[in-house]
């Protein structure tokens, strides 16, 4: 907030040019008045009903600056829930594909814009599910070669035995089963961006080669001559790399080289304003996918105050990925009958639990139709979630990766190691001219 503010049915006027205009909110406003470094709340009439962070208000409540910086939840009567925070001036000039209005997200956007001036390697750190690949794609799009390739790989999903050839390529006959040469991901990303997700899972020996590629612009394919590449490397991790360095699992020199442009994503729980905005955004998408009436058609009636309170009180350990799952769960359960939500005091408690995607896929043999049905989502939604979490699709596997996995684990075990179905593995192998025994 900036200066004094009145909260009521007709004030203030929001960014869309309209007031709340909610019949269940009193015309008599709640006044918020600046007093030095604090704000005092005073009702416009005796008996005005409101709560501040869940506590009933009586008048004269003092809101500290620290509380306003994080956002204070104010409920007016039975008709509106507002998040009030200190005023601030955005530093970023574009949204860069992010949904949200918080200061924390604005800092990320501003960091992306600053990084576009000097497109060096970058290291994105943030909790799982917070949108690190979205940052990487924004860095690519805002850089000098947005038309170049953007190549992404989750290093945690690449077997250690094939990591070097996956990244740097290999010559024909370089090892058993290398029937043809492979250019590798660096060559695929030439004159573009290579995104290394979960970079902390990169084997130590490959980290040395990666450091050389960053310092010299030269890669060493397995069994082949060195080649020059022009690639911007963007890495990401939710791991504590300082601890990994101390334990000898990550090279300090590689860390410093990657972190020439450091970007940090705050957890969703630290951005309550974004929770509400994202909930509406993903609800609209889920309703459209389910071919149910949109929020505009029903006036947002199923996103009740109880829903919003639950969303804002939730810890969001899975960040935006978890929020999407919860919102989709509410749409599955209540989308066709939104009126039922008005009878539920704690709707998030009844929402389908956020499933462990890894466990579900493994238990069902990576058969996507079965998993999608169990989750209550469409197959395209499941594929999108899998891509966000670094799961490979059979079509992404090459000969070398398949051979190495099958030689080490057999067909069924190899499919589990590669996190694909046995049928998908066999079909991909056949398309590559490989015959799998067993």
Q: What is the gyration radius of the CA atoms in the chain, in angstroms?
A: 26
Of 160-174, 218-232, 372-386, least confident by mean pLDDT is 372-386
φ, ψ of residue 429 to 5 degrees: the values are -60, -45
Model pTM score: 0.76
pLDDT in tens, 189-201: 999 999 999 999 8
CATH class of 103-264: alpha beta
pLDDT at 152: 92
Of 19-28, 75-84, 349-358, least confident by mean pLDDT is 349-358
pLDDT in tens, 158-181: 888 888 888 998 777 666 566 677
Buried b (16+ CB within 10 A) or exposed e, 157-178: bbbeebbbbbbbbbbeebeeeb
**Of residues 213 and 389, more confidently modeled:** 213
Which tokens is 376 given?
């209550």
**Of residues 103 and 434, more confidently modeled:** 103
Does CATH number 1.10.8 belong to domain 268-354?
A: yes
Q: Which residues pair with 151 in a beta bridge?
A: 194
Q: What is the DSSP string of 214-261?
A: HHHSEE--BTS--EE--EEEEEEESS-HHHHHHTTSS-HHHHHHHTTE
**Chain centre distance of CA 39:** 34
């Amino acid at each position: 907030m900036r200066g004094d503010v009145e909260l009521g049915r007709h004030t203030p006027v929001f960014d869309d040019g309209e007031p709340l205009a909610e019949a269940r909110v009193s015309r008599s406003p709640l006044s918020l008045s600046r007093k030095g470094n604090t704000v005092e709340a005073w009702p416009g009439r005796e008996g005005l009903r409101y709560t501040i962070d869940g506590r009933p208000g009586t008048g004269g409540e003092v809101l500290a600056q620290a509380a306003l910086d994080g956002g204070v939840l104010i409920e007016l009567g039975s008709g509106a829930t507002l998040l009030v925070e200190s005023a601030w001036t955005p530093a970023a000039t574009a949204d860069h594909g992010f949904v949200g209005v918080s200061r924390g997200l604005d800092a990320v956007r501003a960091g992306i814009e600053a990084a576009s001036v000097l497109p060096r390697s970058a290291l994105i750190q943030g909790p799982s599910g917070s949108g690190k690949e979205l940052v990487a794609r924004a860095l690519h799009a805002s850089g000098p070669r947005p038309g170049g390739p953007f190549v992404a790989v989750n290093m945690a999903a690449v077997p250690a035995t094939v990591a070097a050839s996956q990244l740097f390529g290999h010559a024909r006959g370089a090892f058993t089963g290398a029937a043809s040469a492979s250019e590798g991901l660096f060559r695929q990303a030439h004159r573009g961006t290579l995104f290394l997700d979960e970079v902390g899972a990169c084997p130590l020996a490959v980290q040395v080669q990666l450091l050389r590629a960053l310092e010299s612009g030269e890669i060493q394919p397995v069994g082949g001559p060195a080649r020059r590449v022009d690639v911007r490397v963007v890495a990401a991790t939710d791991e504590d790399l300082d601890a990994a360095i101390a334990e000898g699992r990550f090279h300090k020199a590689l860390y410093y080289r990657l972190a020439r442009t450091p970007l940090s994503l705050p957890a969703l729980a630290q951005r309550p304003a974004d929770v509400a905005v994202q909930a509406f955004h993903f609800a609209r998408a889920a309703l459209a996918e389910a071919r149910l009436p949109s929020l505009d058609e029903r006036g947002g009636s199923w996103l009740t105050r109880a829903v919003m309170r639950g969303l804002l009180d939730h810890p969001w350990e899975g960040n935006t990925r978890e929020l999407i799952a919860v919102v989709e769960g509410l749409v599955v359960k209540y989308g066709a009958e939104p009126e039922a939500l008005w009878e539920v005091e704690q709707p998030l408690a009844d929402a389908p639990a956020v499933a462990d995607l890894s466990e579900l896929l493994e238990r069902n043999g990576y058969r996507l139709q079965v998993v999608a049905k169990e989750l209550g989502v469409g197959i395209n939604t499941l594929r999108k979630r899998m891509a966000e979490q670094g799961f490979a699709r059979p079509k992404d596997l090459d000969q070398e990766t398949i051979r190495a996995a099958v030689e080490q684990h057999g067909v069924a075990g190899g499919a589990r190691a590669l996190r694909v179905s046995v049928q998908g593995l066999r079909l991909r192998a056949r398309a590559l001219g490989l015959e799998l025994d067993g």
